[in-house]
Structure 1
Amino acid sequence: MASILIVDDEEPIRHLLRSILEGEGHQVLEASDGREGLTLYRNTPTDLVITDIMMPDRDGMEVTLELTREFLDAKVIAMTGALGNQNFLNVARLFGARHVLQKPFGVEEICRLVHLTLAE
């Protein structure tokens, strides 16, 4: 299937996404912050990046913007748990995220978005 990079500072979220995505047959890489995520992607580009927006040391907005500027074909899904603030997700779209996701999310929702984004 596809190679997917998960960038999130919360280990439980990375573990959950890894479990879901590997269950779907995908190969998964993980990064615990934006700086590590950008380095991993530059060294080993993946088919898709799923990044949290709110992280220390290079947030998901910076990750999304740098990836989509440096790699025109980069596919990014941005997600946030910041409740009640749709602005984060709207800005992520402006920065190049193909899709956005509000935490908490369901298994079916993440699988649908991953499938949709990979098909684009």
Structure 2
Amino acid sequence: MARILLIDDDDVVRTVLCALLVRSGHTVIEARDGEEGLDLFPRIVPDLVITDIVMPKKSGLEVMQALREKKPCVKIIVMSGGDRNGPGDNLQAATLIGATSVLAKPFAVAELLAEVNEVLAS
């Protein structure tokens, strides 16, 4: 299966998503924030990056921009529960910057796994 870099500052969300992805046969490397994710990226060379948007140190949008500079073809799924305006603005910005796919939190397990499979197959 795939090597996935999962970046989310919420420990519970990250742990649950990691378990789901591992159970689906993927290898998952976890990062607690965008800065840690960018540090891990060149060492693990993932097939897919899944990142939250609203995080301390570096946002998911900053992570996406940096990854696009390093490896333009990297597949990136961006997820967000949003800020005070909801997830729409953040996810629209991610799409404009070049996210491969976006997911609004909360999402169903089946939705995440379907999106991961679709992105990896593209």
Question: Following the alignment from structure 2 to structure 1, what is the Cα–Cα distance between the partners of residues 59 and 87?
Answer: 16
TM-score using structure 1 length: 0.96
Fraction of identical pairs, as percent: 44
Question: Following the alignment from structure 1 to structure 2, what is the Cα–Cα distance between the partners of residues 76 and 85?
Answer: 17
TM-score using structure 2 length: 0.94
Q: 1:112 aligns with which of 111, 114, 119?
A: 114
Report the counterpart of residue 3 of structure 1 in structure 2: 3
Contact 2:80 2:87 in 1 (8 A): no
Report the counterpart of residue 35 of structure 1 in structure 2: 35
Displacement after TM superposition at 1:69 (Å) = 2.0
- SS at the partner of 1:28? strand
Q: Where do 5+ consecutive residues of structure 1 fail to align? A: none
Displacement after TM superposition at 1:66 (Å) = 0.9
> Which amino acid in 2 is paired with 1:74?
V
1:13-56 per-residue CA deviation (whole Å, 9 max, x = no partner) reads 11111111001000000000001001100221100000000000
Corresponding pairs, count = 120
- SS at the partner of 1:41? helix
Mapping of residues 1-120 of structure 1, within 5 Å:
1-82=1-82, 84-120=86-122
Following TM superposition, the consecutive aligned residue runs of length 4 or more in structure 1 with deviations greater than 4 angstroms are none
After TM superposition, the structure 1 stretch with the greater mean CA deviation from structure 2, 75-84 or 6-15, is 75-84
